[in-house]
Amino acid sequence: MRGADIKQVEMLVAFSLEDRVPAAHPLRTIRRLVDESLSAMSGVLTTMYSHTGRPSIPPERLIRSLLLQVLYSIRSERQLVEQLDYNLLYRWFVGIGLDEPVWDATSYTRNRQRLIDADAGRALMAAILGQARERQLLSDEHFSVDGTLIEAWASQKSFQRKDGEPPADGGSNFRGQSRTNDTHASVTDPQAQSYRKSQGQEARLAYLGHALMDNRHGLAVDGCATQATGTAERDAAAQMIDWIKTGGEITLGADKGYDTEAFVERLTRGRVKPHIAQNTTNRRSAVPEAVAQTEGYAKSLNARPRIEDIFGWLKRIGGMKKVKLRGTAKVHSLFTFALAAYNLVRLRTLMMPQPSCV
């Protein structure tokens, strides 16, 4: 028989948020991984706050909400706070009770600055990778590195001369003008640089995101965002390698853009084998032929393109195609949190039971 469309609103309903989330929901595994990581980060989180004053938004909830924003491609903090108010799944993941009020969007933004100052995104990445290492899902020997363009939240009209009066037309007509980072800067985001990723492409106001990938299972073991300069990719790669070195000899795969004499020499001094794609176009490659002829070199070049999967996910899902934040520090924080979210998704996949062959 046809059911009745009852309009009466129940005045009292007793249920738990835990009961409303399906047992097989993907966020359940991710929530367990996040909680374990936050427990390991407790010391770092404590240093972010004073011992006196009113209690602030718990940093654990801030971090879970940031991860939620990345995982579900929520475009702004205001929309995130709005959805936290009525979405039961989001409330469960962040840890907000049914009858708890959700904080204001401006309070959320101000408290997020604590995470930026403490570089909590990188600390979260390290805690997540610790769990991957315990499950023997990480390699300590073979890595790949690459960079990607992150469009800044600024228009080409904002790229104006550093000296002199602002243009009368607002900067919309710059045809025929010579504009460089030495003479011009964005009035909207001064730290964004005009950058062209490759020949034939237009120059854009942008930052660069850098990732270091483990070749075994494609997990991001480190990452950072920097200003977009001609040497930023190689400088960031050398810095990330120094951070993760364990004392033994390791290999580093990279594309032709990293094939420079100075970079290869720096890797060699640090006992890092340069498994870099040779650039022999009108020049001589800095990668020794003795290295390029090895079987390990071929394997590294074969594994290196998997790092593009990380960048593809960050831009398609994680909101890193064009960031809605301004300043290198904020872009770096969002980029590292997005890498941490990617690792959570990847780690959940690796932990799933594999189907047995009959």
Poorest-pLDDT segment among 113-127, 131-145, 170-184, 203-217 = 170-184
| Domain identity same for 194 and 300 | yes
- Are 159 and 206 in contact by the 8 Å Cβ rule? The answer is no
Instruction: Please report whether residue 127 resides in a domain.
Output: no
- 7 compared with 317, residue with greater pLDDT: 317
Mapped onto helix, strand or coil, the DSSP state of residue 114 is helix
Tell me if 338 is assigned to some domain. no
H or E stretch at 358: none
Greatest pairwise CA separation for the chain in angstroms: 81
Q: Are residues 100 and 149 in the same domain?
A: no
Question: Is 207 contained in some domain?
Answer: yes
Residue 213 sits in the same domain as residue 255: yes
- Specify if 47 maps to a domain: yes
Quick: pLDDT tens for 67-102.
999 999 998 889 999 999 889 999 999 988 888 888
Closest-CA residue to 216 (of 264, 144, 152, 266)? 144
Asked whether residue 304 carries a pLDDT value surpassing 60, the answer given is yes
Asked if residue 67 is part of any domain, the answer here is: yes
**pLDDT > 90 fraction of the chain, expressed in percent and rounded:** 38
> Domain check: are 246 and 294 in the same one?
yes
pLDDT band with cut points at 50, 70 and 90 for residue 5: low
Q: Structural domain tally of the chain? A: 2
* Amino acid present at 241: I
Residue 174, pLDDT > 70, answer no
d(CA 308, CA 4) in angstroms, rounded, equals 53
The DSSP element (H or E) to which 320 belongs, if any, is none
- DSSP β-ladder status, 184-186 and 159-161: antiparallel
Strand partners, 205: 194
Given the structure tokens 């315990």, which residue do they identify?
A: 134
Residue 145 shares a structural domain with residue 288: yes
Residue 48 within a domain: yes
Distances (CA, A) of 77 to 74, 318, 328: 8, 14, 19
Residues 252 and 296 in one domain: yes
* Together in a domain, 104 and 209: no
Least confident segment among 63-72, 162-171, 219-228, 257-266 = 162-171
Dihedral (CA of 94, 328, 39, 54) sign: negative
User: Who contacts 28 (Cβ-Cβ below 8 Å, separation ≥6)?
Assistant: 21
pLDDT in tens, 35-58: 999 999 888 888 888 788 787 888
Same domain, yes or no: 146 and 90 = no
Which pLDDT does position 222 carry in this prediction?
92
Q: The domain containing residue 273 runs over which residues? A: 139-163+184-328
User: How far, in Å, are 236, 278, 305, 358 from residue 259 at the CA level?
Assistant: 15, 6, 16, 47
CATH number of residue 268's parent domain: 3.30.420.10
Judge if 61 and 146 occupy the same domain: no
Check whether residue 150 and residue 290 sit in a common domain.
Answer: yes
Residue-level pLDDT at 68: 93
Q: Which residues, 6+ apart, have CB-to-CB distance to 139 below 8 Å?
A: 214, 215, 216
Mark whether 108 and 257 lie in a shared domain.
Answer: no
Q: Is residue 347 in some structural domain?
A: no
| 265, part of any domain | yes
Same domain, yes or no, for 97 and 159? no
